[in-house]
Amino acid sequence: MQQIVNLEWTMCTIFVNFYYKIFRSVDKINFNEIASNITINKYDDLTVEYDVIYYYQIKVYDILTSKEYFWASGISDKIYSLFEKNKIYIETLCQQSFNLKAMEIRKYNISKKTFIFNLNERLAKLEYIKHNDILLTLDDYILTKNNSQLIFKVALNIGWQNLEIQGQWGWETIPAPIEEAINLLNKKNLYEQNNEIDFENSPFQQEKIGDYSYALKNKDDDIIFIKIKTLINPYVKIASVGII
């Protein structure tokens, strides 16, 4: 039976005219090119053997500059692009995930009588709200702060799990400012690989291309990170937390 590894990664949006090159290794050290001129963000590797772990790198070849850039890496069919890696980093700074979760019921304890209740996570889709087993209507509350805070017209009473909410938490799509922040990091990563920008102005203290990882320098005076901080601050769950 023929073995197949299905590779798929986030599409590169940095360049206009480009294609992908696929590299493979069995030891994470020596990578050999197995495909080129790939113009879509997926590839089926048909030259694999059963019970062998393969390591992959996907590089972007920019036709305009005749240069190639590391774009994604992974093990077998688990490929993570720079976009996904930087998305995880931005999510860590914001202390929330920009994915949509399954429908669920959450119950909360009300420790003091209050009109305002913080959900600590964005409510993407609301099915119902119950207080003391009484179903509330849209006239009873207002959703504010990116759907992460409820303001009630009548104060909530103290009780154990007496506030029940059914809905979907998270984000249907990545907010535009968050996507812009991620793409700023993507560009920094790509340009730094070929030293197209002065390392002094780069946010990266060090970068490892194989199993992709990086450490960031002090970002207080970095123009790119000042812009990133401005973009993501409205989405940081705790107002006092920024880029540290």
Q: What is the pLDDT of residues 53-101, one digit of tens each?
A: 899 999 999 999 999 999 998 888 677 788 888 899 999 998 888 999 9
List, for residues 130-173, the tens digit of each pLDDT value: 999 999 999 999 999 888 899 999 998 898 889 999 999 999 99
Q: What percent of the chain has pLDDT over 70?
A: 84
157 Cβ contact list (under 8 Å, min separation 6):
110, 113, 131, 132
Nearest to 9 by CA among 77, 69, 68, 63: 77
Q: Which residue has the tokens 């930087």?
A: 86
Per-residue pLDDT at 202: 47
Entry pTM: 0.63
Nearest to 21 by CA among 65, 86, 91, 70: 70
Residues 177, 232 contacting (CB under 8 angstroms): yes
Residue 32: alpha-carbon gap to chain centroid = 29
C-alpha 27/C-alpha 21 separation (Å) is: 19
Fold of 5-81: Immunoglobulin-like (2.60.40)
Domain boundaries defined on the chain? 5-81, 104-169
